[in-house]
């Protein structure tokens, strides 16, 4: 088990009451509950950061596609893709 460091924190009575109630509900100590909450929040923030990065990558890809579409002009992309898909299906039969 990793070493633990004792700290003092200041919280209002309501926060302390909520922490005690939740720790009791989980049948654990207040300290263990606070440790778990900190880990859960850190994990949530990591996940949110990864989601933001993915959204940015998608946005950049979308912008790139728009630039290409603007250069290429008006052409029937949907029809070309559908024809290509149906050709592949028909070739298999």
Residue-wise pLDDT for 31-62, tens only, equals 999 999 999 999 999 999 999 999 999 999 88
Angle at 66 between CA 64 and CA 67, to 5 degrees: 65
Segment 54-81, tens digit of pLDDT: 999 999 988 988 888 888 787 787 888 8
Rounded to a whole number of angstroms, the CA Rg of the chain reads 27
Q: Give the start-to-end residue ranges of the domains of the chain.
A: 13-92
Is-above-0.95 flag for pTM?
Answer: no
Report d(CA 71, CA 82) in Å as an integer: 22
Residue 87 is encoded by which pair of tokens? 């050709």
């Amino acid at each position: 088990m990793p070493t633990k460091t004792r700290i003092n924190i200041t919280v209002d009575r309501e926060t302390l009451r909520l922490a005690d109630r939740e720790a009791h509900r989980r049948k654990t100590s207040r300290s263990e509950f606070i440790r778990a909450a900190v880990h859960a929040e850190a994990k949530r923030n990591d996940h949110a950061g990864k989601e933001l990065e993915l959204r940015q990558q998608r946005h950049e890809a979308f912008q790139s596609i728009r630039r290409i579409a603007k250069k290429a002009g008006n052409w029937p992309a949907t029809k070309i893709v559908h024809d290509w898909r149906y050709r592949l299906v028909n070739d298999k039969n």
